[in-house]
Amino acid sequence: QLACVPEKHKRSPLNQLTRTLLRGYDSGVRPVQNWTSPTVVYIDLILQSILNVDGKTQSLTTCIWYRQIWTDEFLVWDPEEFDGITEISLLSDAIWVPDVIVSEFVDEGKSPPIPYVYVNSSGLVKNYRPVQAVLACKLELYAFPFDKQNCTLTFRSWLHSVQELDLALWRSAEAIASEQTEFMNDGEWELLSIPSHYWQLQQAGGEYAHIQFNVLIRRRPLLYVVGLLIPSIFLMLVDVMSFYLPINSGTRVTFKTSTLLGYTVFRVNLMDELPATAVTTPLIGVFFAACMALLMLSLAKSILAIKLLHHGETEVRQMSVSAQLLDHYGSLGQSFAESLFTTDVAQGKWLVLCAKVDRVLFRVYLFILVMYTSTLVLLWLSWGLA
Ligand SMILES: *[C@@H]1O[C@H](CO)[C@@H](O)[C@H](O)[C@H]1NC(C)=O
Ligand SMILES: *[C@@H]1O[C@H](CO)[C@@H](O)[C@H](O)[C@H]1NC(C)=O
Ligand SMILES: *[C@@H]1O[C@H](CO)[C@@H](O)[C@H](O)[C@H]1NC(C)=O
């Protein structure tokens, strides 16, 4: 019964160990016995998800699992003395931590604070934490929606030169590059790989160690192909088909105007979907503008053909009217029916001529359209398959 009551005076081994380790510990001093030996900080990185790619601010929001591991020569103990404890968690505020930062961070987002680090009996400190970060990244959006992005994360110590603080990779570069297990692979972006390399930069009075990760991601274009390209292509096809409406029926211009109007509405609605950049327009934006221009061109052509038709008709009618007047006041012998017949024949001929002109214009239009489409399709294919 007495054994159930916690012993207040005797500290637990965990408590004892923590007190022993932190007694006289100065968290402001780099934990090495010999000050000339550098502290090597091992870095590891797992990409968990891509939250946002913003063309306007040229930034990438990601979730990464970041790990840094180093040896603290003052946090060493003998597990035999402390009830066999080989690992212990300590408050990260209580011990020395390296000032490794990422140069591209523009905003350290909503990273949950992890107050502890894990230390084992040989002094190895593991500092694991999830980081949600907004990275500055030069985005190439010209090929949208078939684009690939290459964003870099450069880890470095802001203050310590390589003589004091050196960096290294915890796992092999190949293992980090091909790590895909934690990546949320169902979003818009597909992770290609994360190559990394180490380099030193000569800067004001010292060498600084850098480790650079290149996050290579590719957009999945299906959503945009279905939502943007295919409706646009359908409207263009409808427009091409409207050339088979007879020119003298008068519905063609109305039809084409409605197509143009429909296209305008479609474009206004989907303008938000296009990534906006200040400098370059994605090629797909040019594609939409060019489709609109082609629709206008086809409308203008139809108007021209109809104008030609009506111009001809009035001339033919005038001719026949003067013929009738001549008939009426001149020789009264000729019949009215004959002049009507001439008018019909002239009109029929004119109609045939107009149809011919229309056909030629249609072929020119079709040629322009096919050239334009095949150029774009080739470009997009080369981007999509590269
Ligand atoms: C510190 O390390 C350097 C070389 O690594 C060595 O020459 C020097 O003697 C060491 N100093 C002490 C106090 O151990
Ligand atoms: C501490 O961790 C490192 C890395 O996991 C390991 O190599 C080392 O043996 C561990 N030390 C002890 C005493 O367990
Ligand atoms: C990504 O960018 C870095 C530098 O910005 C460059 O060294 C690297 O070759 C690029 N990688 C690819 C695959 O384009």
Q: What is the pLDDT of residues 186-227, one digit of tens each?
A: 889 999 999 999 999 998 888 999 999 999 999 998 888 888
Residues 252, 256, 257, 263, Cα dihedral to 10°:
160
Supply the pLDDT for residue 268: 85
Q: Tell which one of 152, 154, 193 to mutate to probe ligand 3, the residue whose CB is within 8 A of the most ligand atoms.
A: 152
* pLDDT > 70 fraction of the chain, expressed in percent and rounded: 90
Query: Which phi and psi angles does 107 have, rounded to 5°?
Result: -160, 120
* Three-state DSSP state, 102: strand
* Distance between Cα 120 and ligand 2 center (Å): 6
Check residues 277 and 95 and name the one with the higher pLDDT: 95
Q: Does any ligand 3 atom lie closer than 6 A to the CB of residue 152?
A: yes
Which of the residue ranges 248-252, 272-276, 315-319, 346-350 would you say has the lowest mean pLDDT?
Answer: 315-319
Confidence of residue 341 (pLDDT cuts 50, 70, 90): low
Which atom from ligand 2 is nearest to the alpha carbon of 69? 4
Q: Does any ligand 2 atom lie closer than 6 A to the CB of residue 259?
A: no
Same domain, 31 and 151: yes
Ligand number nearest CA of 72 is 2
* Distance between Cα 135 and ligand 1 center (Å): 41
Same domain, 138 and 195: yes
Same domain, 190 and 237: no
Please tell me the distance from the alpha carbon of residue 326 to that of residue 334, in angstroms, as a whole number.
10
Same domain, 260 and 194: no
Of 220, 246, 265, which one is at a domain's C-terminal end? 220
Same domain, 191 and 104: yes
Identity of residue 41? V
**Which residue range is the domain that position 139 belongs to?**
2-220
Same domain, 349 and 266: yes
* Three-state DSSP state, 182: coil
Other C-beta atoms within 10 Å of 322: how many? 10
The CATH number for 90's domain is 2.70.170.10
Q: Which residue bears the tokens 């030996």?
A: 37
Same domain, 256 and 329: yes
Q: Which residues pair with 150 in a beta bridge?
A: 216
Other C-beta atoms within 10 Å of 376: how many? 16
Which of the residue ranges 41-50, 147-156, 222-231, 264-273 would you say has the lowest mean pLDDT?
Answer: 264-273
* Distance between Cα 45 and ligand 2 center (Å): 20
Same domain, 18 and 153: yes
Q: 39-43, 140-144, 184-188, 331-335 — which one is most confidently predicted on average?
A: 39-43
Same domain, 278 and 194: no
For the chain, how many structural domains are there in total? 2
Handedness of CA 27, 32, 36, 40 (dihedral sign): negative
**Of 202, 209, 179, which is closest to residue 192 (Cα–Cα)?**
179
Supply the pLDDT for residue 213: 95
- Ligand 2 atom 5 nearest Cα: 124
Q: Does any ligand 2 atom lie closer than 6 A to the CB of residue 72?
A: no
Supply the pLDDT for residue 119: 96
Q: What is the mean pLDDT of the chain?
A: 86
Average pLDDT over residues 278-287: 81
Residue 318, exposed/middle/buried by CB under 10 A (0-12, 13-18, 19+)? exposed
**pLDDT score of 126 more than 90:** yes
* Distance between Cα 247 and ligand 3 center (Å): 56
Confidence of residue 355 (pLDDT cuts 50, 70, 90): confident
Q: Tell which one of 30, 33, 34 to mutate to probe ligand 1, the residue whose CB is within 8 A of the most ligand atoms.
A: 34
Which of the residue ranges 99-113, 159-173, 191-205, 326-340 would you say has the lowest mean pLDDT?
Answer: 326-340
Check residues 346 and 294 and name the one with the higher pLDDT: 294
* Three-state DSSP state, 59: strand
Reported as a single tens digit per residue, the pLDDT across 27-46 is 999 999 999 999 999 999 99
Same domain, 210 and 83: yes
- Strand 59-71 versus strand 105-108 pairing type: unpaired
First CA to last CA across the chain, in angstroms? 75
**pLDDT score of 9 more than 80:** no
Average pLDDT over residues 56-72: 93
Q: Tell which one of 60, 150, 154, 192 to mutate to probe ligand 3, the residue whose CB is within 8 A of the most ligand atoms.
A: 150
* C-alpha gyration radius of the chain: 38
- Ligand 1 atom 12 nearest Cα: 34
- Strand 165-169 versus strand 39-54 pairing type: parallel
**pLDDT score of 229 more than 60:** yes
Same domain, 275 and 204: no
**pLDDT score of 310 more than 90:** no
Same domain, 182 and 242: no
Which atom from ligand 2 is nearest to the alpha carbon of 87? 14
Q: Which residues pair with 245 in a beta bridge?
A: none
- Ligand 2 atom 9 nearest Cα: 122
Identity of residue 77? W
**pLDDT score of 346 more than 60:** yes
* CB-based contact 150:97 (threshold 8 Å): no
Quote the tokens at residue 154: 């450069």
Confidence of residue 11 (pLDDT cuts 50, 70, 90): confident
Average pLDDT over residues 42-60: 92
Supply the pLDDT for residue 6: 57
Supply the pLDDT for residue 8: 60
Q: Does any ligand 1 atom lie closer than 6 A to the CB of residue 37?
A: yes
**pLDDT score of 72 more than 60:** yes
Supply the pLDDT for residue 261: 92
* CB-based contact 130:48 (threshold 8 Å): yes
Supply the pLDDT for residue 337: 52
